[in-house]
Structure 1
Amino acid sequence: MSYPCPDKTLELIKKLVDIPSPSGNTYEVISFVETFLSQYNIVTRRNHKGGLIATLKGTDENHHRFLTAHVDTLGAIVKEIKPSGRLKLDLIGGFKYNSIEGEYCQIETIGGKKYTGTILMHQTSVHVYKDADKVERNQENMEVRLDDKVHNAEDVRALGIEVGDFVSFDPRAQITPTGFIKSRHLDDKASVAILLMLIREVKTNNIVLPYTTHFLISNNEEIGYGGNSNITPETVEYLAVDMGAIGDGQATDEFTVSICVKDASGPYHYGLRKRLIQLAVDNNISYKLDIYPYYGSDASAAIRSGHDIIHGLIGPGIDASHAFERTHRDSIENTAKLLYHYVLSDMI
């Protein structure tokens, strides 16, 4: 059997997270994915929302599978240029201001210029603000300090920066000698890399899948509607590949593949869950079953939009989700193995 190499997958993850792609501004990263797949003569198409779809024909063309992972990330947008020349932010995606305090960032103007800055509390200096530790981290108190000589709003606008410009966060990605990768935006670029390596493995080894299988690299998941369209009428099974959330009361860890039983949208399909468990058991794949209480996926978005499909959710375990995240090569490998056996298996 031929599994995608986890070390090569880690390197691909690092390349992906280094490309800024907050929801709403994913053109560059989608182009990267498009180019990656074209190296292996894999035909892709873009949907109107800007996502990318690759299709591998299978033996059975009347019953389809649909797998998705999302390449859009958390980010921000310029809400206001303050009289001081600092920028006020509006957040893209579900996270808290405290998780980006002190983070380096990039501002991309509508004209394509890019500027750097740092996200800080207005009351950061303890030498000036006695209660800096007690001030709430919110939109009113957080701001971007630009790395340019600006003294007022007019100076900022002279750079071409305006309300609506996208702000992305420095991922600070590192692969450690112990097999961890730590970075922002492993949600969900870790899963995107796993799917890309799986597609490459199937194509380069001339593996014929039992069913025609579509792979959607979606680009609006963080705002709720990445994978709820372009689902063929023949699609029976829809599997989202997204991070497994780690925390108190959770079974998920950084070393196994997480199979989601239920999230905020409700239970995932029981039959598909049982099938995924059996594939893991039969192939010695380490897995955990879990419930994500404050979570929704592209698969749940597809169900809400009215598609008559069997839906499931699996993914690598990611620590500190929606903040400075981390996972291990073992989790990447176990997720890749389960996906490999899944796309080669019979439908339930």
Structure 2
Amino acid sequence: MTRLAIDTDYLADWLARLLATPSPTGYTDTIVRDCCAELERLGVGYEITRRGAIRAIYQGSRRKAARAIVAHLDTLGAQVKGLKENGRLELVPVGHWSARFAEGARATIFTDHGSYRGTILPLKASGHTFADEVDTLPVGWDYVELRIDAPATDKSSLEKLGVEVGDMVAIDPQPEFVENGFIVSRHLDNKAGVAVMFAALDAMVKEDAITPVDIHFLLTIAEEVGVGASAILSHDVASMVAVDNGTTAPGQNSSEFGVTIAMADQTGPFDYHLTRKLARLCLENDIRYQKDVFRHYRSDSASAIESGADVRTALITFGVDASHGYERIHMHALRSLAELITAYVTSPVEIQRDSKELGSLQGFTTQPTEDEAAEEAKDEPVVL
């Protein structure tokens, strides 16, 4: 079976719903419940871990050598570090992001006694008071504070409101879906990846797609702090494809259009055979793609490998401009990723030996040697 048709209206609507649900790492219960409800609507069985990671299984022709598609539900955010004497809140980031992008952000503070709205401001926010000092203040989390939209002029008034150290802070995404297909928002990393996964699953359910093995759709809840897929894989999974963002920045080969296949990230190269299969499927299914290498990037795949999982891993991405800031993507990339997922999960299993965790050399994979590469090069036409 080739790629399936993707309902882009469903993809956009589901992405908007995901963005509307705050889910900084450590505060993901609500979005987990929303995703489980959607899985029930689609008729796909699932189970969740103690903390809320989701494993949904689309039944295939056999259980062994299962394939996994993984994306993360958690986003960047902040946490209350201290109650200040001026009635403001000191913050620390949740996940790795610059305070440069926190300045001016609207936010929600979740306390045990209810939630409050507020704004993250630089320590010197008033131009009428500080003049040029507003522009010379250093950038960093030590130089911002959260102004809560409630009567709070000192530390004791914050305490009366029920605000405490450790309270979670969710940053408003401020999404905009432009008519030409661009989508601008915070937290597209990785709610766009989650929307892509559900769009692929929606297409599979509608077409009653037949897959050669079970497909595990995994949703993790702590990727932004490095935990990722370390505790959600089962031993039946032989290969895992992560869906996340790629960086369309100077020096990178990623694009906001088509699929960007990551060949390596800061933890090393992705699986040789799986990445090349994904590239081949793009060619066979007329899906635009490009390859890239990320030096300052890790994903759910990295945490799975580091935790000892013996699985083939790959990373397919949608190009994001200004990642971990005011991000921008294009629907073309999201649709392309969903199409590639459907082509991959319905494609034949080529490495049959992967159904066993251990075995002999029989059926083991091969990679081109120097001599073989030279012979192949002889057959290639010379283009001047």
TM-score, length basis structure 2:
0.88
Cα deviation 1:291-347 (Å, max 9, x = unaligned): 111100111111111111111000211111000111111111111111110111123
Which of 210, 214, 220 is the aligned partner of 1:212? 214
Q: Within 5 Å, which residues of 2 pair with 1:147-226?
A: 147-226=149-228
Aligned residue number for residue 92 of structure 1: 94
Aligned residue number for residue 124 of structure 1: 125
Residues 256 and 329, structure 2, Cα contact 8 Å, conserved in 1: yes
Q: Which has the higher helix share?
A: 2
Does the residue aligned with 2:135 lie in a helix, a strand or coil?
coil
Cα deviation 1:233-273 (Å, max 9, x = unaligned): 12111111111111011111111111001111111011111
Aligned amino acid, residue 106 of structure 1: T
Which of 303, 306, 326 is the aligned partner of 1:304? 306
Q: Does 1:314 align with 2:347?
A: no
Contiguous gaps of at least 5 residues in structure 1 = none
Deviation at 1:205, TM superposition (A): 2.4
Does the residue aligned with 2:142 lie in a helix, a strand or coil?
coil
Deviates more, 1:41-50 or 1:114-123: 41-50
Distance 1:347 1:162 in 2: 53
Q: Which has the higher strand share?
A: 1
Does the residue aligned with 2:109 lie in a helix, a strand or coil?
strand
Distance 1:347 1:167 in 2: 44
Deviation at 1:215, TM superposition (A): 0.8
Aligned residue number for residue 67 of structure 1: 69
Q: Does 1:238 align with 2:233?
A: no
Cα deviation 1:79-103 (Å, max 9, x = unaligned): 0010111000010011110011101
Residues 90 and 139, structure 1, Cα contact 8 Å, conserved in 2: yes
Distance 1:79 1:23 in 2: 16
Q: Does 1:19 align with 2:21?
A: yes
Aligned amino acid, residue 161 of structure 1: V
Deviation at 1:7, TM superposition (A): 3.0
Distance 2:251 2:187 in 1: 23
Distance 2:345 2:278 in 1: 11
Number of equivalences: 347
Does the residue aligned with 1:58 lie in a helix, a strand or coil?
coil
Distance 2:63 2:79 in 1: 43
Aligned amino acid, residue 344 of structure 2: Y
Deviation at 1:138, TM superposition (A): 1.9
Distance 1:336 1:219 in 2: 21
Contiguous gaps of at least 5 residues in structure 2 = 351-384
Could you say what the CA RMSD is over the residues aligned between the two structures, in angstroms?
1.2
Does the residue aligned with 1:34 lie in a helix, a strand or coil?
helix
Aligned residue number for residue 369 of structure 2: none
Residues 37 and 200, structure 1, Cα contact 8 Å, conserved in 2: no
Distance 2:141 2:197 in 1: 36
Residues 4 and 343, structure 2, Cα contact 8 Å, conserved in 1: no
Distance 1:344 1:196 in 2: 16
Deviation at 1:203, TM superposition (A): 2.0
Residues 56 and 213, structure 1, Cα contact 8 Å, conserved in 2: yes
Aligned amino acid, residue 251 of structure 1: N
Residues 67 and 239, structure 1, Cα contact 8 Å, conserved in 2: yes
TM-score, length basis structure 1:
0.97
Instruction: Indicate the percent of aligned positions where both proteins have the same amino acid.
Output: 33
Residues 21 and 29, structure 1, Cα contact 8 Å, conserved in 2: yes
Cα deviation 1:70-125 (Å, max 9, x = unaligned): 010000000001011100001001111001110111101134x1110000001111
Which of 255, 274, 278 is the aligned partner of 1:276? 278
